[in-house]
Amino acid sequence: MISLEDFASQWKMPVAPMMAVHRVYPFVLSRHFAGLIRTPEDPLWRQVVPDPRELDESDPVGLRDPLGEERRSPVPNLVHRYPDRVLWIVTDACAVHCRFCTRKRRWTHPVPLHDDLIREALHYIRKTPAIHDVILSGGDPLMLPLELLEELMAKVREIPHVRLLRLGTRVPFADPVRITPTVARRLAAYGPLYMNIHVNHPWEISEESREACRLLADAGIPLGSQTVLLKGINDSAPVLSSLFTELLTLRVRPYYLLQMDLMQGTRHFRTPLAAGAELMAALRNRISGLAIPQFVVDLPQGLGKVPITASAVERVDADRVILQNFAGHATAYPLEPEERGRLRHILGLG
């Protein structure tokens, strides 16, 4: 990892404005990802370098826990939002701190995963037979010591009604040297294991990340990607086209394009909802269908992911769109000024 002082010195930038943000939302950056940055304010820089706008609390729709994870955690670190799956936060450590992270609240207030919490989480999964799918998340599970990660995966695998195990990570692109033949082989032993990798821009694809993906895919682990739509970073059809097409060559199937969560202090990253729908229309039939992910919004308060399609929209008001979630509940999602007409047009709502 590179310190904030060393990073600022390397780029001959004043450290004080970054440090003011770092005290609230700490800077964490792998040397690998730092080495991919080409110029100040480039698409990689903006994802990981502290920005004073993160301290702006005036956003009327910004939330500290935008997905309502704390209130949907029956035990600490275990989020149960959907009937058949749980998300288990097994660490708060990351290879990089994404400045738009939906869990920034945990950066300075982590909930360490000690033995008692592990037992509580496993007990909850065991006593809830409807749970068929366990997603290991964080932080980043691949930042754990391999032996501890294997221990957790083995204990989950012992539960008869758990059919699938998933792992969410940014490591293959943010710190790919962590993926060795040994790591890939030992992870694959707990299959069926699916890995979803966070990657946002084609410049994140390096020779090292290509090798990391090759090792994982060769070990038999199906790979998918999750990309967050970020204003001024990847909100253009050429950038997304390049990213999604190149991911396929790594045997990484684009899975989700995510509307930015309504996280407090991240308004400067947020695109209009209509922009994502327009980008999907611009990509369709211009790149392989295999390369086109599903564009979704993760509804506030943990009401689940909803694809932005006409069938999911109940109505579009002047300042909000009413979406139907998986349980049939109507939920409002805020729109930016003058966005209503764009969204109705792109979804064919007249």
- Count the residues in the chain: 350
Do the beta carbons of residue 124 and residue 74 sit within 8 Å?
yes
DSSP element (H, E) containing 80: strand 78-82
Cβ-Cβ contacts under 8 Å for 102 (sequence gap 6 or more): 66, 67, 261, 263, 298
- Give the distance, in angstroms, between the CA of residue 158 and the centroid of all CA atoms in the same chain: 28
Rounded Cα distance between 341 and 224, Å, is 33
Query: Any catalytic annotation for residue 72?
Result: no
Cβ-Cβ contacts under 8 Å for 261 (sequence gap 6 or more): 66, 67, 100, 102, 298
Rounded Cα distance between 36 and 75, Å, is 38
3-state secondary structure at position 29: strand
Q: Which pairs from 201-204 meet CB under 8 Å and 24+ separation?
A: 201/43, 201/44, 201/47, 201/233, 201/234, 201/239, 201/243, 202/239, 202/242, 202/243, 202/246, 203/36, 203/38, 203/42, 203/43, 203/44, 204/33, 204/36, 204/44, 204/173, 204/174
- State residue 341 phi and psi, 5-degree precision: -65, -40
Active-site residue among 51, 92, 235, 261? 261
Query: Any catalytic annotation for residue 23?
Result: no
Active-site residue among 46, 72, 99, 103? 103
Do the beta carbons of residue 89 and residue 77 sit within 8 Å?
yes
Active-site residue among 92, 98, 105, 342? 98
Residue numbers in the known binding site are 94, 98, 101
Query: Any catalytic annotation for residue 82?
Result: yes
Cα→Cα distances 272→235, 263, 287, 319, Å: 10, 15, 23, 11
Q: Name which of 65, 103, 67 is nearest 82 in CA terms.
A: 67
Active-site residue among 56, 82, 251, 344? 82
Active-site residue among 25, 94, 140, 235? 94
3-state secondary structure at position 207: helix
Query: Any catalytic annotation for residue 98?
Result: yes
Active-site residue among 42, 56, 59, 85? 85
Tokens representing 214 are 């090759």
Residue numbers in the known binding site for [4Fe-4S] cluster are 94, 98, 101
Query: Any catalytic annotation for residue 85?
Result: yes
Active-site residue among 53, 126, 305, 344? 305
Query: Any catalytic annotation for residue 298?
Result: yes
- The catalytic site residues sit at 81-82, 85, 94, 98, 101, 103, 261, 298, 305
